[in-house]
């Protein structure tokens, strides 16, 4: 790769030919502000926040799209540049609904941060925002266009997912983001993945909150409240409290939840293990009896809804297993209630999840309505802060029994490839004894598509892992055309899997654009897996007790009735 030499603010910099000024500045640790730019999602230079002066250019240029050249000199903080950026911020603020104190992005808003940095006068151009109706019909995502800054990052994120249900409408001053024919988001083919939310730099998009309902249940003397936390939460919650990306805060997380009130806290990693018990047996059954192959994983509700809208012909290929969230709620409202003499209607079940699509999932009629509330990592962080818990200094605590200790296989569910690896660990032992490896590293990593061939039980099976729905579409089209032949396919709607879900903590642009969040968060899960007492789902004591005392056997009549589900074709808009 040829290199070019340039100077940025007088500092000599070497950059790859064809790279942008913004990329070159990042290598030199020189910060250039951005608003519309988001690495791997969008680079269009429309917001004009990254304008710089560069030799050979006429006027100011957008650093995120302007290429470097040999001998170029770039200036990022001249009076002309600063004046331009300040004016840009003030113009944006003139049409922005400035309810900053009550905004979900308050103190973590990119526009707020830029306004402070450039000493912007929010009233310089007056206040002329149009009060627009809030679209809150979706179970998962709320849109407030009065706060939209027209960066179009949400549009790019949705297109990146190959869903594309939102886009610019109208022209000029009347331009806004919306869905075709002014449909509410809930009436489109939106899969509720929430990638638009994490892409939005302000508070124009956010999850539909269940926090008030959960607080109400906690103080209701007629209710017994139980929380359970998804595998990836432990690796991301700390970021909301200033911990470095990739910190495992499981003990503090459990302790903080228990300080919210008289609640119990269980470990959803256990029903990740339970999912594997059912899913591995289902895979084996399909392979042995000539069932529908390839079998696709079904624990990601964003992917399931995507299939229902866009590939209904593949619904027989989806595993019939419910997600770990829905398995846990079903077990709690039946087995746990029976064992503890609790009326199911008096048990209030709260799942803590990385995913806005889980909010839609709990409303699916075919799942039985066992989950009362699903709150995101962000919502849990808000509750902890509202309760006045000193998260950084709280002593660690352990999950409540009998749903406390899980296997490392359940832990890695939160990373792309983790469900596949967990299933292969158990399936290989069910078919071929203990001689198979524990770790299947070929399907780890944050690449969009991973493939491998394994010898399982004396036979070879080809597997694939896709994360991000754009990559999922590629894999599906290759399968449909006959180009690829797999026995088992894992798909996660969000790039990187659950660790990068739409409900995870907001991350500053300069961090998101320079740090591999997906890899760092996943590494915390793999490290816990390595140190786990149990490495395979079928070894988890709580799971074995469940079968012995209640479910009888995997794929049995009781297990099938409680832990499996159906799917149906949905219209595509």
The pLDDT confidence band at residue 573, using thresholds 50, 70 and 90, is: confident
Cα–Cα nearest to 332, from 323, 321, 345: 345
Q: Is the pLDDT of residue 186 over 90?
A: yes
The pLDDT confidence band at residue 467, using thresholds 50, 70 and 90, is: very high
**CA–CA dist 236, 244 (Å, integer):** 9
> What is the overall mean pLDDT for the chain?
95
Query: pLDDT tens for residues 9-37?
Result: 999 999 999 999 999 999 889 999 999 99
| H or E element that contains 462 | strand 459-467
CB-facing half-sphere around the CA of 15: CA atoms within 13 A: 27
- Catalytic pick among 361, 379, 421, 490: 361
Question: Which CA distances in Å does 301 have to 255, 323, 355, 359, 460?
Answer: 29, 8, 9, 9, 29
- Catalytic pick among 138, 319, 329, 407: 319
CB-facing half-sphere around the CA of 303: CA atoms within 13 A: 34
Taking residues 145-172, report their average pLDDT: 95
The pLDDT confidence band at residue 459, using thresholds 50, 70 and 90, is: confident
Cα–Cα nearest to 450, from 480, 417, 481, 477: 417
What region, left, alpha or beta, does residue 494 occupy, with left being phi > 0 and alpha being psi -120 to 50 degrees?
A: beta
Q: 358 catalytic, yes or no?
A: yes
Cα–Cα nearest to 356, from 164, 549, 142: 142
Query: pLDDT tens for residues 77-122?
Result: 999 999 999 999 999 999 999 999 999 999 999 999 999 999 999 9
- Catalytic pick among 234, 358, 450, 518: 358
Query: pLDDT tens for residues 511-546?
Result: 999 899 999 999 999 999 999 999 999 999 999 999
- Catalytic pick among 110, 250, 279, 379: 279
Q: 366 catalytic, yes or no?
A: yes
- Tell me phi and psi for residue 214, to 5 degrees: -70, -45
- Catalytic pick among 299, 300, 321, 536: 299
DSSP symbols for 348-398: EEEEEES-THHHHHTT-GGGTT---EEEEHHHHHHHHHHTT--GGGPPP--
Q: Is the pLDDT of residue 74 over 80?
A: yes
Q: 196 catalytic, yes or no?
A: no
The answer to whether domain 3-77 and domain 209-573 are alike in fold is no
The pLDDT confidence band at residue 128, using thresholds 50, 70 and 90, is: confident
Q: 361 catalytic, yes or no?
A: yes
The percent of residues in the chain predicted with pLDDT above 70, rounded, is: 99
Q: What is the CATH code of the structural domain delimited by 209-573?
A: 3.40.50.1780
Tokens of 171: 């022209």
Least confident interval from 18-22, 329-333, 343-347, 434-438: 434-438
**CA–CA dist 273, 540 (Å, integer):** 7
**CA–CA dist 384, 289 (Å, integer):** 50
Q: Is the pLDDT of residue 221 over 90?
A: yes
The pLDDT confidence band at residue 435, using thresholds 50, 70 and 90, is: low
Cα–Cα nearest to 269, from 290, 253, 282: 253
**CA–CA dist 147, 138 (Å, integer):** 18
| H or E element that contains 473 | helix 469-481
- Catalytic pick among 366, 386, 453, 530: 366
Q: 282 catalytic, yes or no?
A: yes
What is the residue extent of each domain of the chain?
3-77, 95-205, 209-573
Q: What is the CATH code of the structural domain delimited by 3-77?
A: 3.10.20.740
Q: 355 catalytic, yes or no?
A: no
- The number of beta carbons lying within 10 Å of the beta carbon of residue 88 is 19
Q: 299 catalytic, yes or no?
A: yes
Q: Is 426 helix (H, G, I), strand (E, B) or coil?
A: helix
Contacting residues for 160 by C-beta, under 8 A, at least 6 apart: 40, 41, 195, 468, 470, 495
Q: 319 catalytic, yes or no?
A: yes
Taking residues 186-209, report their average pLDDT: 97
CATH 3.20.20.70 for domain 95-205: no
Q: Is 332 helix (H, G, I), strand (E, B) or coil?
A: helix
- Catalytic pick among 50, 148, 498, 536: 498
Residue written as tokens 């899913």?
279
Positive or negative: CA dihedral 559, 536, 408, 523:
negative
């Amino acid at each position: 790769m040829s290199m070019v030499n340039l100077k940025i603010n007088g500092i000599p910099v070497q950059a790859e030919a064809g790279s942008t000024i913004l990329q070159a500045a990042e290598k030199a640790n020189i910060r250039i502000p951005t608003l519309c730019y988001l690495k791997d999602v969008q680079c269009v230079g429309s917001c004009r926040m990254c304008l710089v002066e560069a030799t050979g250019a006429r006027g100011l240029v957008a650093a995120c799209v302007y290429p470097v050249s040999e001998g170029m000199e770039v200036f990022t903080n001249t009076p002309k540049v600063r004046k331009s950026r300040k004016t840009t911020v003030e113009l944006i603020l003139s049409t922005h609904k400035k309810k900053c104190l009550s905004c979900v992005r308050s103190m973590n808003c990119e526009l707020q941060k830029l306004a402070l940095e450039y000493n912007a006068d929010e009233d310089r151009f007056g206040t002329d925002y149009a009060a627009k109706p809030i679209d809150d019909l979706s179970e998962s995502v709320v849109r407030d266009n009065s706060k939209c800054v027209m960066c179009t990052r949400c549009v790019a994120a949705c297109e990146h997912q190959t869903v594309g249900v939102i886009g610019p409408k109208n022209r000029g001053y009347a331009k806004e983001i919306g869905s075709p024919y002014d449909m509410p988001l809930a009436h489109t083919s939106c899969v509720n993945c929430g990638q638009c939310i994490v892409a939005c730099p302000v508070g124009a998009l956010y999850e539909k909150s269940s926090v008030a309902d959960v607080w109400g249940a906690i103080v209701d003397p007629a209710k017994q409240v139980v929380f359970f936390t998804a595998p990836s939460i432990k690796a991301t919650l700390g970021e909301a409290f200033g911990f470095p990306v990739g910190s495992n805060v499981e003990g503090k997380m459990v302790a903080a939840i228990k300080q919210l009130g008289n609640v119990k806290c269980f470990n959803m990693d256990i029903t990740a293990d339970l999912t594997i018990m059912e899913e591995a047996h289902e895979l084996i059954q399909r392979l042995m009896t000539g069932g529908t192959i390839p079998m696709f994983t079904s624990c990601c509700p964003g992917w399931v809804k995507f299939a229902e809208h866009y590939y209904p012909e593949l619904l027989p290929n989806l595993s019939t297993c419910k997600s770990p969230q829905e398995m846990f709620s079903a077990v709690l409202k039946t087995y746990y209630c029976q064992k503890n003499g609790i009326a199911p209607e008096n048990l209030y079940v709260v799942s803590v999840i990385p995913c806005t699509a889980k909010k839609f999932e709990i409303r699916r009629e075919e799942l039985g309505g066992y989950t009362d509330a699903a709150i995101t990592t962000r919502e849990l962080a808000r509750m902890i802060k509202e309760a006045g818990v000193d998260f950084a200094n709280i002593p660690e605590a352990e999950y409540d029994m009998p749903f406390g200790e899980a296997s490392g296989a359940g832990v890695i569910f939160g990373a792309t490839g983790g469900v596949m690896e967990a299933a292969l660990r158990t399936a290989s032992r069910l078919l071929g004894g203990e001689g198979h490896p524990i770790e299947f590293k070929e399907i780890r990593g944050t690449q969009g598509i991973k493939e491998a061939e394994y010898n399982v039980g004396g036979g070879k099976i080809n597997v694939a892992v896709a994360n991000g729905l754009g990559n999922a579409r590629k894999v599906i089209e290759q399968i449909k055309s006959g180009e690829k032949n797999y026995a088992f396919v894992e798909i996660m709607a969000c790039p990187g899997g659950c660790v990068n879900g739409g409900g995870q903590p907001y991350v500053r642009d300069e961090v998101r654009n320079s740090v591999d969040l997906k890899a760092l968060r996943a590494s915390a899960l793999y490290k816990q897996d390595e140190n786990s007492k149990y490495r395979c789902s079928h070894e988890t004591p709580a799971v074995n007790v469940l079968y012995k005392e209640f479910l009888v056997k995997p794929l049995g009549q009781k297990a099938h009735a409680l832990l499996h589900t159906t799917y149906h074709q949905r219209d595509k808009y």
